[in-house]
Amino acid sequence: MTSLRPVSTEAVETDLGSVADRVSPCATDTSCEAVYDWFVAEPDRLVLPVVDEEARPVGLVARNEFLQTLASHFGRSLYLRKPVTALMDPDPLVVEATVPLSILGDRILDEKPTAMIRGFIVTKDNAYHGVGTGLDVLKLSMEKIRRQSDDLTVAERGASKANMAKSRFLATMSHELRTPLNAIIGFSELIRDQVMGPDAMDTYVDYAADIHNSGSHLLELINDVLDIAKIEAGKIDLQRQDLILQEEVGPLWRGFTLRAKKKNLILRIDAPSEPIACFADPRALRQIVTNLVGNAVKYTQNGGCIRLSMETVEDHSIRIEVEDNGPGIPKSYQARIFEPFEQVDNSYQRHAEGSGLGLALTKELVRINGGKIGLESAPGEGSRFWIVMPQRQPAG
């Protein structure tokens, strides 16, 4: 096969650039004889681009016209020794690889409809890059339509998922609000109407205590929902600072012990005697630990054990673990319980009080403090929740 003088071209892959056929172009002084040999050796090529010394396209040789001319009566004797410029189209359609598909279509229709069949030259920064054909345009159009339809499907799925989440949230919220509100209205009616007679003070005090509990539960619920909403909207006021972990967690311990005592639970804390530095928002840190220990106390059966441990880990992080020997959490629930309102659906855990927001809030608080949360658990074998948070302010 006759080799044509190669002219260097720079390849940059864009949409059109990546589908263009990277045919090696020939130089302006290439003879028609060399081009003829090339077409004979390359039976599938329909065009040959011609470029100048700086790799700028100057013309396009169309296979059929070229071979027909050479086959004509005096064609061979007239042209064989002449440069290719004598038989090229000096005004081919030239488009940059980055041209949007819609503009490419318009330009073909307006400037050179024959380019759809004969092809056009694709350039990159005005230098020759490859040859495009109608088939490439069709391929790009189909790819674009497929992408648009994929995007639409994803957007549609996202919208319907968000809609379902919203409906589920409203249904759960109204249930969670209605239960304590019914108790408040019911018990206050009993007191107002003195249904147990004017002297049943002890009973009315019990009713008042129920009203107080339901009110506190409502407030807790609404605070948690507002906190999650604030974090999601990026509106939470975080005061991340250098802390000593033991100094933040220590004061919580008394409250935990009191709650554990009511259930005969053994509480243990494992922490080194030297201070553990930590970089976090103190209020968030206390809430994270309180939620995890609160769950361990709530879900572990009477007489169980709970261990809270704190340590420094190699990569300038701290690790806090809250471990219990309670009912454990099945694998299928382990990711879900970090979502709002998700609770393990078994008789023991479902009958404990709570609305299923604690871990969702905890996860968000850990995240905005630059940390991670995880869980190791199996039914009947207890649970170990862990969090890892940075020890120092991240650089930058």
Ligand X SMILES: Nc1ncnc2c1ncn2[C@@H]1O[C@H](COP(=O)(O)OP(=O)(O)OP(=O)(O)O)[C@@H](O)[C@H]1O
Which residues form the interface with ligand X (CB under 6 A)?
224, 295-296, 299, 324, 326-327, 329, 337, 343-344, 349, 354-360, 383
Cβ(239)–Cβ(369) under 8 Å?
A: no
- Region near Mg ion per CB under 5 A, out of 21-29, 144-152, 349-357, 373-381: 349-357
Cβ(122)–Cβ(17) under 8 Å?
A: yes
303: left (phi over 0), alpha (psi -120 to 50) or beta: left
* Closest to 80 measured CA to CA, from 34, 38, 27, 47: 34
CA atoms within 13 A on the CB side of 370: 18
- Region near Mg ion per CB under 5 A, out of 68-76, 224-232, 350-358, 362-370: 350-358
CA atoms within 13 A on the CB side of 152: 6
Size of the site for Mg ion (CB under 5 A): 3
To ligand X, the closest distance from the beta carbon of 386 in angstroms equals: 12
Per-residue exposure over 262-289, b if at least 16 CB sit within 10 Å of its own CB, e if not: eeebebebebeeeebebbbbeebbbbbb
Q: Which does residue 357 bind out of ligand X, Mg ion, none, counting CB within 5 to 8 angstroms by kind?
A: ligand X
Does residue number 83 form part of the binding site for Mg ion (CB under 5 A)? no
Residue with Cβ nearer ligand X (131 or 284): 284
To ligand X, the closest distance from the beta carbon of 215 in angstroms equals: 15
Per-residue exposure over 74-109, b if at least 16 CB sit within 10 Å of its own CB, e if not: ebeeebeeebbbebbbeebbbbbbebeeeebeebbe
Q: Which does residue 289 bind out of ligand X, Mg ion, none, counting CB within 5 to 8 angstroms by kind?
A: none
To ligand X, the closest distance from the beta carbon of 179 in angstroms equals: 13
Residue with Cβ nearer ligand X (26 or 344): 344
Residue with Cβ nearer ligand X (147 or 261): 261
Residue with Cβ nearer ligand X (140 or 344): 344
Does residue number 130 form part of the binding site for Mg ion (CB under 5 A)? no
Residue with Cβ nearer ligand X (207 or 385): 385
Name the one residue in this structure whose structure tokens are 């790819």.
143
Does residue number 295 form part of the binding site for Mg ion (CB under 5 A)? yes
To ligand X, the closest distance from the beta carbon of 356 in angstroms equals: 4
Does residue number 358 form part of the binding site for Mg ion (CB under 5 A)? yes
CB atoms within 10 A of CB 158: 10
Report the DSSP beta bridge partners of residue 31: 83
Residue with Cβ nearer ligand X (83 or 327): 327
Q: Cα separation of 278 and 296, whole Å? A: 23
Q: Which does residue 83 bind out of ligand X, Mg ion, none, counting CB within 5 to 8 angstroms by kind?
A: none
Strand ranges (DSSP E) for 208-247?
241-244
Where does this chain bind Mg ion (CB under 5 A)? 295, 354, 358
